[in-house]
Amino acid sequence: MHEALLKDMEARMQAAVDLLGREFAGVRTGRANTALLDALRVESYGTLTPVNQVASLSVPDPKTLVIQPWDASQITAIERAILKSDLGLTPANDGKVIRLNMPSLTEERRKQLAKTVGKLAEDARVAIRNVRREANDKLKALAKDKKVSQDEERRGHDLIQKTTDKFTGKVDELARKKEQEILAI
C-alpha cells in the first residue's frame, strides 16, 4: 500500500533529528568538546577547509581544547577563523599549538545559548512538519487516484500523525537535555 511512503517519511524525519543532534554538539556548554569546532572553516591554501582537516583536535582536560595544525604555517589562519567565529573563545597560540580555554558561562550567555537551542529545536520541528505535510499530500493524491481506499487514507493520516508526534518528541527530548546541560552550573 503506502509502506514506501512511510519509510521515506521516517527516514527524512530521522535525518532532521540527526541534524539537530549534530547542531547541538556545536553549542557550547562550558565543557571542552571537539564538536564545537565542527562548523569552523579555515582559509587553507585558498579554500575554506574544516579545521579538523588541517589540524588534530584534542581535549586534554574538561576546560581546554588543543588544536595542533599539521602545517605550522596554518596556525595564524586557524587563529583568525576562531576569532571570527561566534564561539566567544580567545585562542592562545604558542607557535606550535593553539589552546582554547573554556571560560565559565555567564548567566546571560547561558540564557542566550538556551534560546539558540530552542530555535534549533523549532527549526527541526518545522522540518518534521514539512515532511508530514508532504506525506499527507502524497497520500491524498493516492486516494484521489483511487490507489488507496478512504479507510486506508484515514489510517495512513493517523499513522503519519503518530510518526510525526514520535519524532517531535525526540526533538523535544534532545532540546530538554541540551538546555539542562547549558543551564547546569
Q: What pLDDT is stored for residue 123 in this prediction?
A: 94
Q: Which residue in this structure is represented by grid cell 499530500?
A: 137
How far apart CA 30 and CA 7 sit, in angstroms, is: 38
How far apart CA 86 and CA 141 sit, in angstroms, is: 45
Q: Which pLDDT tens digit goes with each residue over 36-46? A: 787 788 888 88
The CATH fold of domain 34-101: Gyrase A; domain 2 (3.30.1360)
Mean pLDDT estimate for the chain? 86
How far apart CA 17 and CA 35 sit, in angstroms, is: 17
How far apart CA 65 and CA 34 sit, in angstroms, is: 7
> Does 34-101 match 3-25+106-183 at the fold level?
no
Q: Can you tell me the mean pLDDT for 112-134? A: 92
Query: Please, what CATH class does the domain formed by 3-25+106-183 belong to?
Result: mainly alpha
Q: Do 76 and 95 touch, CB atoms closer than 8 A?
A: no
Q: Do 59 and 66 touch, CB atoms closer than 8 A?
A: yes
Angle 122-19-119 from CA coordinates, rounded to 5°: 20
Domain boundary assignment for the chain: 3-25+106-183, 34-101
Say what the pTM is.
Answer: 0.71
Residues 6 or more apart whose CB falls under 8 angstroms from that of 181 comprise 29
- Residue 1 — very low, low, confident or very high, per pLDDT cuts 50/70/90? very low
